[in-house]
Amino acid sequence: MTNDFGWVENPYLSAEKMVPLAQRIEKERPQLKAGLEKLRELLGEERFEKNISSLVNLTKNNNTLLVVAKNMLQRSAIERDCIKELKEAFSVQFVKVVG
């Protein structure tokens, strides 16, 4: 069975609308909410929305923050413009950005 795109339909997969990171963190990882709010203050609303809101994921483990970007362009922008603020907001020594 195929759809209009010629792909085989998989009954076990579904598509979900992308929700901004702040909303997902509040629901899935409330322990990161304070750091995310501090990051918004440090970056300002415009930079936060441009670089952070559309991240795929954000995880903290001890002194390391793992940031999952949606693509290489976003990854480069975060590495160039946001590392210092990410370290400060989440009180970590290392930030690893993948994407």
Q: pLDDT tens digits for 10-62?
A: 788 777 787 888 898 888 999 999 999 999 999 999 999 999 999 999 999 99
How would you write the chain as a 3-class SS string? CECCCCCECCCCCCCCCCCCHHHHHHHHCHHHHHHHHHHHHHHCHHHHHHHCCCCCEEEEECCEEEEECCCHHHHHHHHHHCHHHHHHHHCCCEEEEEC
* CATH annotation of 21-98: 3.30.300.20
pTM exceeding the 0.95 threshold for the entire prediction: no
Whether pLDDT at 1 is above 60: no
